[in-house]
Every structure is written in C-alpha cells, then in structure tokens.
C-alpha cells in the first residue's frame, strides 16, 4: 500500500486508511501477527518534500512480561514525518536541518510505503516490558503457577545461594 507523492497537489492530501501490518517481532522476540492500524492525517507540500502530520490507532496482542498471559495493548500515537521523495543527494549539501533529520522518511521513486511507515510507528510505541495490569503478581519462581489465578503455597522467602549450605545447620538446631 503506497502513497504516491507525485500526485499530491498544492492543496495537500487528507489520509484516512486502514493498514494491515505484516507479521513482525515484538519487544521480547514474540511474533505479532497481522495487527491492523488506522492511519489518519494530512500531507502538505514543503520545500524538498512533504510534511505528514499523522495519528495512528491500533491494538496489539502481547504476552505479559510477568504472568505470560496474552492481553491487548492499545496503540494511540500522534507523529510528524518529513516524506523525502527520491534518494538523498550525492552532493554532500545538507537539505534538512539537524532537528529535522530524525523525522525523515525516505520515499524512493516518490512513493511512501504506508505499511513500512505504520509498522515503524507501531513498533516505536510498543512497551519494552508489557504488563497486563499494575497489580499483576506474575508466576511463582518455584512451581510456575500463575499467582493471579491461584495461591501455590510455595515459600516466598528468597535465600541467597551463597548462604544456602548454612540452612542445614539451622534445620539441625531446630530438631
């Protein structure tokens, strides 16, 4: 799905598209399968390219980093990009200011790849450690039970492994 910059007139262009994203990797390497995203915004002409002020909404299904249960992460993101048609100039002359370079999105042949653009914006908004709920208790490190669903009864006292041999002396003393 492409946006042809060569066909945008001086009045600009309003964008309102549903974009189906290809499968890509999430923050922990998990596969995110075909999330959809709604892209809205406005493209306006500028010297040397186009300004794209956009708004993105999507929902991505991720596993919780604590309990591993899948949950939906809402993605709502406003962004600004400079759509740069063609290839960068070989003259070495700077075409954009330093603060604009981070917002550059290359559009070879004057066509902006909306799937790539939206995938990048979704990926930038994904949490590094997704957590289903602030109160998530996670998995028991001893037996692996989901502590949100059941109490496993395992001891929660953490023992320093360097001091673990001393527990035998404590057990003998208590008997």
* pLDDT tier, 48 (very low <50, low <70, confident <90, very high otherwise): confident
Q: Is residue 174 part of a domain?
A: no
Model confidence, pTM? 0.75
Q: Is residue 139 part of a domain?
A: no
Q: Is residue 168 part of a domain?
A: no
- pLDDT, average across residues 87-116: 73
The answer on pLDDT for 92 being more than 70 is no
Task: Tell me which residue range forms the domain holding 100.
Answer: 2-125
**Considering its fold, how many domains does the chain have in total?**
1
Q: Write out the chain in H/E/C secondary structure.
A: CEEEHHHCCCCCEEEEEEEECCCEECCCCCEECCCEEEEEEEEEEECCEEEEEEEEEEEEEEECCCCCCEEEEEEEEEEEEEEEECCCCCCCCCCCCHHHHCCEEEEHHHEEEHHHHHHHHHHHHCCCCCCCCCCCCCECCCCCCECCCCCCCCCCCCCCCCCHHHHHHHHHHHC
The answer on pLDDT for 90 being more than 50 is no
């Amino acid at each position: 799905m492409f946006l042809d910059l060569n066909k945008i007139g001086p009045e600009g262009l309003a964008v309102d598209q549903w974009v189906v994203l290809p499968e890509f990797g999430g923050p922990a390497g998990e596969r995110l399968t075909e999330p959809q995203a709604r892209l809205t915004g406005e493209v306006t002409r500028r010297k040397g390219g186009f300004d794209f002020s956009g708004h993105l909404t999507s929902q991505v299904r991720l596993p919780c980093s604590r309990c591993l249960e899948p949950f939906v992460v809402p993605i709502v993101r406003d962004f600004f990009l400079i759509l740069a048609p063609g290839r960068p100039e070989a003259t070495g002359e700077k075409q954009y200011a330093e603060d604009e370079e981070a917002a550059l999105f290359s559009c070879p042949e004057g066509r902006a790849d909306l799937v790539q653009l939206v995938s990048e914006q979704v990926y930038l908004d994904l949490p590094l450690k997704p957590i289903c709920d602030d109160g998530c208790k996670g998995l028991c490190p001893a037996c692996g039970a989901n502590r949100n669903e059941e109490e496993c009864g395992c001891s929660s006292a953490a023992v320093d492994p360097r001091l673990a041999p001393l527990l035998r002396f404590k057990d003998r003393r208590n008997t």
